[in-house]
Structure 1
């Protein structure tokens, strides 16, 4: 370590997961070239790291907000590049940070270009749950999940988070949204707690129960709740908005326009068969991960039309967000189908937005970009698509857009923001 070199994270080394920080270095020699690194470990113990080469200015200072990386895991002026460009030590691994009480701890360091001697280091604690936000596990009736409630008397809007379709539970998105002033219930669909490890069908009754649980909560106000989805849970969110009462605003991220993979049932009868996929249309690549973009069957073929969800019957509003380079499945075409269907029925209760060069997994910003990982439904490693820099920028914009959408369509009253005192 060099006592004259200082590495600072501003405004604080402790912040929320979705907040940017300013990384600054001082005390270097004039025009000195150094390597900056970031390193973190996820919940499985997988190590993620990044590095970038910088040249100090005449005063021996580096400011990532204005100085470009010359080489490394990213190049150019990217203030948060050390975070989103972190890669796992092994191929096809996705960064796992699902438990809200575990912060994302990142060690930043500055090293001599030659020899690699450490000149300075600082540790950032990027928390997923704000001060004053309560976290309560839910095991009521059929519901298995976690409820996040902001500090203050409320009322707050309620949001049901269907993070993604898979075994287990993810709390990250729900806990971060609760900080913004929402009561958020994130639920597991299978494989969590005492739930079945595998399923043969999906029951819409489960989501109806979760929506009613939220609406009856003492701190939840407003006419109805919001739903936030991703991937397979996108078509579940569409079905909930279409068939269930009390859904005012639905966020659909890289989902499908039809009911996929599993039959959908409600009140003990099937309302949609499953749109299936053909593994023969999953294309292998030299990376060891495959492309599943064209694996799903065409929902507009006569034999598949029963899988299409009649979204024109929904009473709430939709926000459709899609990545133009989604390699998991063709979510862009699905969004176009949804928009065309709503317009055909004279509906204007939607907004749609696409992100060039972004991949399938759009999440809260500043986590490591994932190019590929194992896909439980496909049963193999899948490329998610996207270019790291563009994907990272899309996540920043998407996260703000979701909050803007919910504020416009779920606010209980004009005083809601005054009732929130949660912070980092």
Structure 2
């Protein structure tokens, strides 16, 4: 292939776009019916290098079109237009337990697509590609504002779409890792929603001890978001992931202040009603530590902590009190929380209460706990910081790569459609608040 190297072309379109956008990858001017390897790599914000690759054979005209042609091997197989992204994994020399998560949403995910001669599987850094092309993948669309929030005792980051507004809004609650995860909120703002990524776990007081927030904290945050001049106050939703689901459902059911237009819940449960402080939840979980399981490599599996689902209604959030539309997203291979069992019980409770018409349940076989925006690398297990113990453990999240990746793409499309329906009233024009 040496005599054709100069003429080989690689096209990646668009070369800069949002992370939930598809890209077209084409290679032209190869010898007919030649074997090549397409390779994708990126460096995450924490310095870990991720990669994916697929084995292709050019057609009679010397072209490989990833959206049309099958990968015959690699980190993915078959016709997978976005396989070079969702099948990414840490390079072999990486430490175990890496999780891909964008910490700085103001910079793009920089992906490099390369073409190599032959079907190869490793040591790419010692090889010279036939051609390469960079791609920028953004969580933050042009014109979206990012604002640090420290008002009225709340901590978070507010993302405001470009334009005069007012806009619908989302109060975004991430999971039990603590800190502040901004990637969901940044992407929501890129699609036309003011979004507040609220920090609510892992606060340290002056003496360095954990300080757990109470229900008033979430009520303050919701009320503050409603009153923001860029927000249409009667079009505010909540979105919870993992631990954030418990907060979202509890606040929606019990609070007189938090009355969202709709809620989105991703892989959580309704078995942890909040009664004053998150400290109560931690205490309840610690009583069930004997239910923790381990896999063959002694990685933690938490899904049994809250099983079996209690029959006693006082031990569950009173779902019957919820009177707004609920989108419940479930990975059936979630190894962290009993999401499937919880969803089935929520459905039963809502049917009994006569409000099942408010529930949209999306359940995905083979999907694990960490359902992220489309084309994000699947992570079956990773390090997790236990806040009370101030130590890191290896946590099993579950999921099979192909099924999980399909669930990420489908559930995100359904989420945007759900928010559009209930916050924009099927119209992008909001003229009155």
Alignment of 1:86-125 (within 5 A): 86-88=88-90, 89-113=94-118, 116-125=127-136
Aligned to 2:124: none
1:293 and 2:300 aligned: no
Helix, strand or coil for the counterpart of 2:11?
strand
Q: Secondary structure, in 3 states, of the residue corresponding to 1:229?
A: strand
Structure 1 Cα separation of the partners of residues 117 and 279 of structure 2:
66
State the SS of the aligned residue for 1:264: coil
Partner of 1:134: 145
Unaligned runs of 5+ in 1: 420-424
CA RMSD of aligned residues (A): 2.7
The equivalent position to 1:29 in structure 2, one of 28, 31, 42, is 31
1:403 matched to 2:406? The reply is no
> In structure 2, what is the Cα distance between the partners aligned to 1:277 and 1:332?
22
**SS in structure 2 of the partner of residue 236 of structure 1:** helix
1:21-420 equivalences in 2 (<5 Å): 21-88=23-90, 89-113=94-118, 116-191=127-202, 199=210, 201-244=212-255, 245=257, 246-259=259-272, 264-265=275-276, 274=284, 276=286, 278-300=288-310, 306-347=314-355, 348-377=357-386, 380-411=393-424, 414-416=427-429
Alignment partner of 2:184: what SS?
helix
CA offsets per residue over residues 27-51 of structure 1, 9 Å max, x none?
A: 1111110111111111110111111
Q: Quote the Cα distance in structure 1 between the aligned partners of 2:128 and 2:167.
A: 51
**TM-score of the two chains, using structure 2 as the length reference:** 0.88
For residue 373 of structure 1, give the secondary structure of its aligned residue in structure 2. Answer: strand
Among candidates 9, 12, 16, match of residue 9 of structure 1: 12
Q: Is contact 2:174-2:243 (8 Å) kept?
A: no
Structure 2: how far apart are the matches of 1:387 and 1:197?
Answer: 39
In 2, are the aligned partners of 1:162 and 1:229 still within 8 Å (CA)? yes
Separation in 2, partners of 1:197, 1:22: 50
Structure 1: distance between partners of 2:233 and 2:201: 29
- Quote the Cα distance in structure 1 between the aligned partners of 2:207 and 2:247: 18
Q: Is residue 236–residue 261 contact of structure 2 (8 Å, CA) maintained in 1?
A: yes
CA contact (8 A) 1:166 1:189 kept: no
Asked if the contact 2:158/2:195 (under 8 Å) is kept, the reply is yes
The offset of 1:179, in angstroms, is 1.3
Ranked by relative contact order (alpha carbons within 8 Å, sequence separation 6 or more), the top structure is: 1
Offset at residue 264 of structure 1 (A): 3.4
TM-score, normalising length: structure 1:
0.90
CA distance in 1, matches of 2:431, 2:63: 40
Figure out how many residues of one structure are paired with residues of the other and give that number.
413
Q: Does structure 1 conserve the Cα–Cα contact (< 8 Å) formed by 2:166 and 2:430?
A: no
Partner SS state of residue 213, structure 1: helix
